[in-house]
Amino acid sequence: VLNLLNHRASRSFLVECEALKSIRHRNLVKVLTAISGIDYQGNDFKALVYEFMENGSLEDWLHSSVGMNEPETMRNLNFIQRVNVAVDVAHALEYLHHRCETPIIHCDLKPSNILLDEEMVGHISDFGLAKILSGDELNYSANESSSLGLRGTIGYAPPEYGMGSELSTNGDVYSYGILLLEMLTGKRPTNERFKEGLSLHNFVKAALPNRVVEIIDPILLQESVRGGTVGDITLNENNLGNDKYLQCLNSIFKIGLTCSAESPSERMDMSDVVTKLCSIRDKLLRPTRLYRGIRTAYDAKPTGI
């Protein structure tokens, strides 16, 4: 539901409708309908109705907090679930940047805009700041948003946007890189420790390749990390002693660092991100035949013949 007393909301509604009306991808949230009318007070009323996502946002899982009416056990994502969501988001961005009739820039990628369905599949949502490249009909919205400083969220928006640079797909890549680093470290880019020249990017860069265990989310090192009804998989002392796991962790961190490079020209293309992440995931899952954190039938013990 949009607050139309905010003068940007109506334009945001139009931009989101335009961006979503022609795109179809399993990792993009589905809009069921758009509603426009008058509320009980006589004010304009506009709302987008999205497909319900049973497991909420990635933000809820990375930084869950226990409220008064919530269960004592906190929801957490295990390692392979985080990798799967990272792959899901990469697929969605690759589609927006390269598979649409005209490239679409999301402009506000962050954990709260990644929704998880019943099977923990990631979906990008909230296209309110999206820009369709070469779409003249939307340039007025993007330009006005830019002049008002609406170029994403602090910590996730690329540095060039703050210097007046044009919106580009490289901006989304930067946001994705920060998102990836946050997913593995459990630290927001706005964490209070990141000040006086220290950023999430530099924090990770300084630890690679030999101190990677020191910077990963401590939750991932616990004996058991459960995500809803999904099976357990952990980064414990046993498998972190395996070079394969350390190599995969370092490789994923390097993707995050390259994507969040200060210079747009140094960042990866999302097509390359998808290819490399899928290769890393395959390497992780190959010995144990795991998919989305669940042991498959290939691992079932024979029942006898």
Active site positions, annotated: 108
- Tokens representing 99 are 């598979």
Beta pairing class for 294-295 and 44-50? unpaired
Residue 203: C-alpha distances to residues 107, 185, 209, 235, 265 (Å): 24, 10, 12, 20, 22
| DSSP secondary structure code for residue 230 in this structure | B
CB atoms within 10 A of CB 123: 24
Residue 114, CA distances (Å) to 58, 90, 122, 234, 271 in order: 5, 11, 6, 23, 19
Q: Are 172 and 156 in contact (CB under 8 A)?
A: no
- How distant, in Å, are the alpha carbons of 73, 155, 282, 296 from that of 70? 8, 29, 36, 32
The single-letter code of the amino acid at 117 is D
Token pair in block for residue 115: 């929704």
Establish how many alpha carbons lie within 13 A of residue 191's alpha carbon, considering only the half-sphere containing its beta carbon.
16
CA–CA distances in Å: residue 130 to residues 17, 20, 106, 181, 212: 10, 10, 4, 23, 35
Two tokens, residue 101: 């009739």
H/E/C letters for each residue in 24-61? CCCCECCEEEEEEEECCCCCEEEEEEECCCCCCEHHHH
